[in-house]
Amino acid sequence: MADVSYLDVRRLHADVLDTDTADVALAMDEDAFRAFYDRTSRALWGYLSRTSGDRQVADDLLQECYYRLLKSRVAFESEAHRRNYLYRIATNLVRDTRRGTRPLFAEGLDVSDLEAPQGPADAEQRADVRRAMGRLKPRERALLWLAYAQGSSHSEIAGVLGVKTASIKLLLFRARRKLAAMLEAK
């Protein structure tokens, strides 16, 4: 066996490392991505879980959303543009997810998990909201969540859902009425 020096081993190891860490074509650099992820991932998980009705689906889709964002070739004009695009990906992924059981909408809330100021009445009310949300159409859920949980503007919602901005007001009105009627029926 030929003699191999320590330097040769180091050089070989460095070559392997270079190959393993070679940059691949992603739309953002690591620092920018991590900062963006830290700012948006919790809210996106909430959106995914509440529109899909399944925490497991939300867990699965979260990474897929960011991966598709990273692989996109879109030139984002701003942080808001990038975030809207991310939510559009999320909306499409939830829509394409196989329709099955939606455990989140069926379950109640454990009062012991809630913080002190929130009593049983709050827990009951929130469980009602979830059940009512579960009976809405996916687009209505997304619409209401974006408007009231995320505080998105009409134009942002239109961009995410792929509908005209002018029609958002009417769609929101109908979805609100529907949700309110379901809450009252309960």
Partner 1 sequence: MNDFTDAEIETIVAESLAAEAAMASAEAQPPSSAIVWWRAQMRARQESAQLAEKPITIVHALSIAAGIGLMLSVIGYAAAGVKGSVAWVTNIAEAVPAALAALPLDLVNRWTSLALSAALVSVVIASIAAYFIFVDE
Binding site for partner 1 (CB under 8 A): 22, 24-26, 30, 33-35, 37-38, 41-46, 49-50, 55, 62-63, 66-67, 70-71, 122, 125-126, 129-130, 133, 144-145, 148-150, 173, 176-177, 179-181, 183-184
Q: Which two tokens stand for residue 144?
A: 């209401």
Cα 136 to its chain centre, rounded Å, is 18
Q: Which is nearer to partner 1, 3 or 115 (CB)?
A: 115
* Rounded least distance, CB 22 to partner 1, Å: 8
Q: How far is the CB of 151 from partner 1 (least distance, A)?
A: 9
Nearer to partner 1, 42 or 135 (CB): 42
Phi/psi region, residue 162 (left: phi>0; alpha: psi -120 to 50; beta: rest), is left
Minimum CB–partner distance for residue 5 and partner 1 (Å)? 31
DSSP annotation string for 29-66: -HHHHHHHHHHHHHHHHHHHHHHHS-HHHHHHHHHHHH
Residue 139 CA to residue 88 CA, distance in Å, equals 12
